[in-house]
Chains A and B, each alone.
Chain A
Amino acid sequence: MNSISKIQKELVEEFSFFEDWMQRYEHMIDLGKSLPLIKEKYKTDDNIIKGCQSKVWMHAELEETKLIFTADSDAIITKGIIAILIRVFSKQHPDEILNADTKFIDQIGLKEHLSPTRANGLVSMIKQIKMYALAYKTQIN
């Protein structure tokens, strides 16, 4: 199993091959297409992450001691962003998720998505992932 920091390092390396924003975005859109999709029954209003201009649904469940995330969005760039987050945080132990930092987002050239005016909810997505980690951590213990 890969650790969060190892996956983050891989992502930074992967994105460093691209010369311009267009290639980076195209790659992100491709990643979005491989997003582990949320089951229809979990696509409820309760699972919508607030603070996004596009709709984002996210679901988490525990498999032994690891958290598995699935998600979907009606916007394709947003889908790419979630795919990146899921690649980093899914199948990880809640403790690892809670301790992880998110500097890699800046390093892969997505810093602008962290700005509150973008309203794409990247910040809300990370918060939601950490909330799930916190909630499931108590279940494991």
Chain B
Amino acid sequence: MDIEKIRKDFPILTRKIKGNDLIYFDNAATSQTPIQVINKISEYYSKYNSNIHRGVHFLSQEATSEYELVREKIKNHFNIAKKKEVIFTSGTTHGINLIASGYSNILQKGDEIIVSNLEHHSNIVPLQMLAEKTSSILKVIPMNLSGDLDLKAYKKLLNNKTKLVFVNHVSNSLGTINPIKEIIKEAHIHDAKVLIDGAQSAPHIKTDLIDLNADFYVTSAHKLCGPTGIGFLYGKEVLLNELPPYQGGGEMISEVTFEKTSYADLPHKFEAGTPNISGVIAFGAALDYLNGIGLKEIENYENELLKYATKKLKEVNGLRIFGEAKNKISVISFNIESIHPYDLGSILDKMGIAVRTGQHCAQPVMDFYQIPGTVRVSFSFYNTKKEIDFLILAINKAIKMLS
């Protein structure tokens, strides 16, 4: 991997922030966009902007085939059995809500839903709403100090009332890679359906949905070098067919009269209205870009960054890392003794380093450690060890200022 060459693909990396070179360590929040993806958006609007699936004209056909080609690309990239099992969404949160809302017609009083302590709020709140609507019960897989889920406890939570299990592949606040294959296998013993939130894992780990045997999977393009406002939901055909449509509108129907409307087949049943066409097409370009580098190469390099940064950070006086699971991606959450994460984040910002501070939309994780929040650095394949060295310098400078 030629990092210097890769960095040239990202125009934003040449920006100066308050006189310093931008160091972007907030990749878990959103990844940066390579020029190939930016150009694709521009190409769409300059060459074949038109509404898809309806027009008989040339542009509409061109846009439709570009759009549908991306469904194919997603199917191949994530190893999905059928193209129609790929539903475009506005992102991970939309996908989770679509499934949670669909199950509000299926779950019954006393049924059980399992989530984990490591979830992002977007994988908690829709399920709380579902539980409230259906009088079902929400149960939580506990975590331990290292930031791993307690699988023994998970197995005990499962029973024949368990209908749904929603877990993330990777924790956004700590970086823990959860053993989802095992989680899915255990759930299936009890005939529970599993949704995997892949928002944090898809950019870092090659995901094979047939091998995992996940029932549902959701992720967002903007974590994968793609644009914001687009993502996809995968669901097994038979399960998606059981769910009612999420939104009504054009595109999702086969016949409409005032007496009765019949719905279109998958995937269109869940894609009401004009979709984010440019977003989908650019998402395809992002997948091409990542595959051009190679997910395995990306994973190896990011692991190297993780190891290097973990070692360097641990040398900083008073620094404590939260989440030291054996399997984790290049995310490090930490605090420095008697310094508020917000203070440290503000000073790092002044030196051009973008980090995330606070609860990371995962308040239960912060509550578990009894802390107000952390500073989170998250690396991507375009980051360098040199940037990590500068981070360490900046942290030490900040400590001097703040103590």
Contacts and interface: CB of A to CB of B under 8 A. Distances in A.
A25 B339 CA distance: 15
Interface stretch (B61-69, B277-285, B288-296, B340-348): B340-348
Contact of B372 (A22, A25, A55): A55
Contacts of A75: 340, 342-343
A78 interface: yes
Contact of B358 (A53, A74, A78): A53
Contacts of B350: 21-22, 25
B30 interface: no
A53 B373 contact: yes
A74 B340 contact: yes
A120 to B, nearest CB: 7
Nearest to A52: B342
Interface string B346-381: 110010000001100000000000001100000000
A75 B336 CA distance: 13
B239 interface: no
Interface residues of B, number: 14
A111 B350 CA distance: 13
Nearest to A73: B340
B357 A53 contact: yes
A95 interface: no
A29 interface: yes
A21 B18 contact: yes
A25 B401 contact: yes
B358 A77 contact: no
Given A21-B18, A54-B372, A74-B372, A29 B402 contact: yes
A26 B342 contact: no
A55 B347 CA distance: 18
A22 B342 contact: no
Given A25-B347, A25-B350, A53 B342 contact: yes
A116 to B, nearest CB: 15
B373 A76 contact: no
A21 B347 CA distance: 10
A119 interface: yes
Interface residues of A, number: 15
Interface string B316-344: 00000000000000000000000110110
A120 B402 contact: no
A119 B358 contact: yes
Contacts of B358: 53, 119
Contacts of A25: 347, 350, 401
A57 B102 CA distance: 43
Interface string A62-103: 000000000000111110000000000000000000000000
A77 B343 contact: yes
B373 A29 contact: no
A111 B247 CA distance: 42
A83 to B, nearest CB: 14
Nearest to B350: A21
Contacts of B402: 29, 76-77
A80 to B, nearest CB: 10
A98 B358 CA distance: 32
Contacts of A76: 339-340, 343, 402
A120 B342 contact: yes
Among A25, A53, A74, max chain B CB count under 10 A is at: A53
Given A25-B401, A54-B372, A77 B18 contact: no
Interface in A8-33: 21-22, 25-26, 29
Given A53-B357, A75-B342, A119-B358, A26 B372 contact: no
Interface string B14-47: 0000100000000000000000000000000000
Contacts of A77: 342-343, 346-347, 402
B139 to A, nearest CB: 29
B401 A54 contact: no
A75 B350 CA distance: 16
A120 B373 CA distance: 14
Interface of B: 18, 339-340, 342-343, 346-347, 350, 357-358, 372-373, 401-402
> 8 closest Cβ contacts across the A-B interface?
A75-B340, A54-B342, A75-B342, A53-B342, A77-B343, A75-B343, A53-B358, A76-B343
21 contacts: A21-B18, A21-B350, A22-B350, A25-B347, A25-B350, A26-B401, A29-B401, A53-B342, A53-B357, A53-B358, A54-B340, A54-B343, A54-B372, A74-B372, A76-B339, A76-B402, A77-B343, A77-B346, A78-B343, A119-B358, A120-B342
Given A21-B350, A78-B340, A120-B342, 12 more contacts: A22-B350, A22-B401, A25-B347, A25-B401, A26-B401, A29-B401, A55-B372, A74-B340, A74-B372, A76-B339, A76-B343, A76-B402
